[in-house]
């Protein structure tokens, strides 16, 4: 054990928007009574289970529509205006944990939609169609905004009409820049194109950080739910700089044969990976070496 270092990446784990939402949920749960959450509070089943055990009840939008006289937490992704209208109609108390960065973006898009400058302009959101945050953003424009998921889909826009481009907070900065370039090159004369880089650096900065972390250890355990898209993306970045990187979602998945002979082990994860889970992995590794002594 004396020769092995085990480090947990300080830059991995929940972004401040998610930390804030979980803190709000815990505060409300401590007061007692039932607290509902509209959608999974975070895309990590272990954390959802932890909060469920504390009393948090996750519901979907259909169930929300039928709910009356209750308390409902809105998670960091935010919600469209209809959710607030339903709450008012059904006497639902909202605990609003929408991330301040997302709230600000919702406001900007709403202002853009209400601005009376060009009746033909297209409000375009680069984001994942159907994603909760994107639904909340499109909702600010009464459903008029156009969602594009990729550079490929950018080609379907009408370049004879003005374009105002925004981005979902968690999209790729690199592709956003490519989209901006493509639109710039294709705009017809006489129409305008304005774009706003609304990508959250809490996520965008993780790529260079995690690459540096993965390169600085000889063995990497990347901890994430297997379905997390952010997890898949960050894990592939680890693999690029350190082929000895392994994706696990619990301590039981650690292959002990990898630990033999390792000198420097890094534990890192996605934006949906709780700190306590990375600590659990680190403790299991420590326990493995302790058992060898
Ligand atoms: S990624 Fe950024 S904008 Fe999205 S919830 Fe986290 S802190 Fe907020």
The Cα-based distances of 189 to 85, 112, 156, 186, 283 in angstroms read 41, 22, 18, 9, 62
Q: What does the pLDDT read at residue 44?
A: 86
For the chain, the domains span 5-13+205-292, 16-98, 101-199
CATH architecture of the domain with residue range 16-98: 3-Layer(aba) Sandwich (3.40)
Query: Is the CB of 22 inside a 6 Å radius of any atom of ligand 1?
Result: no
Query: Is the CB of 15 inside a 6 Å radius of any atom of ligand 1?
Result: yes
Model confidence at 185: pLDDT above 70? yes
- Fold type of domain 5-13+205-292: Cobalt-precorrin-4 Transmethylase; domain 1 (3.40.1010)
Give yes or no on whether 5-13+205-292 and 101-199 have one common fold.
yes
C-beta separation of 268 from 210 below 8 A? yes
CATH top class, domain 101-199 = alpha beta
Give the distance (Å) from ligand 1 centre to CA of residue 16.
7
For the whole model, what pTM was predicted? 0.88
Catalytic-role residue among 28, 112, 133, 237 = 133
- Ligand 1, atom nearest to 14 Cα: 6
Q: What does the pLDDT read at residue 1?
A: 56
pLDDT tens figures, 41-54: 998 888 999 999 99
**Confidence class of residue 209 from pLDDT cuts 50, 70 and 90?**
very high
Q: What does the pLDDT read at residue 2?
A: 54
Average pLDDT, the chain: 95
């Amino acid at each position: 054990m004396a020769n092995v270092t085990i480090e947990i990446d300080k830059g991995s784990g929940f972004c401040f928007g998610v930390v804030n939402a979980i803190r709000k949920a815990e505060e409300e749960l401590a007061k007692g009574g039932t607290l509902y959450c509209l959608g999974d509070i975070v895309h990590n089943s272990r954390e959802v289970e932890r909060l469920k055990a504390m009393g948090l009840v996750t519901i979907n939008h259909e169930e929300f529509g039928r709910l009356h006289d209750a308390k409902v937490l809105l998670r960091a992704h935010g919600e469209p205006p209809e959710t607030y209208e339903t709450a008012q109609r059904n006497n639902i108390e909202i605990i609003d944990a929408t991330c301040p960065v997302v709230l600000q973006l919702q406001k900007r898009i709403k202002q853009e939609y209400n601005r009376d400058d060009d009746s033909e302009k297209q409000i375009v959101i680069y984001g994942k169609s159907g994603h909760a945050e994107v639904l909340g953003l499109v909702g600010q424009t009464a459903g008029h905004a156009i969602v594009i998921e990729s550079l490929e889909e950018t080609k379907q826009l009408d370049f004879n009409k003005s374009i105002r481009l925004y981005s979902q907070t968690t999209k790729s900065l690199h592709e956003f820049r490519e989209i901006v370039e493509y639109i710039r090159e294709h705009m017809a004369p006489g129409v305008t194109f304005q774009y706003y880089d609304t990508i959250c650096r809490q996520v965008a900065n993780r790529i260079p950080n995690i690459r540096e972390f993965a390169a600085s250890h000889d063995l990497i355990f990347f901890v994430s739910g297997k379905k997390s898209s952010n997890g898949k993306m960050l894990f592939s970045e680890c693999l690029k700089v350190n082929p000895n990187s392994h994706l696990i979602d619990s301590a039981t998945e650690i292959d002990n044969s990898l630990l033999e002979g390792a000198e420097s082990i890094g534990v890192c994860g996605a934006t949906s990976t709780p700190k306590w889970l990375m600590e659990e992995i680190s403790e299991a590794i420590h326990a493995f070496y302790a058992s060898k002594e």
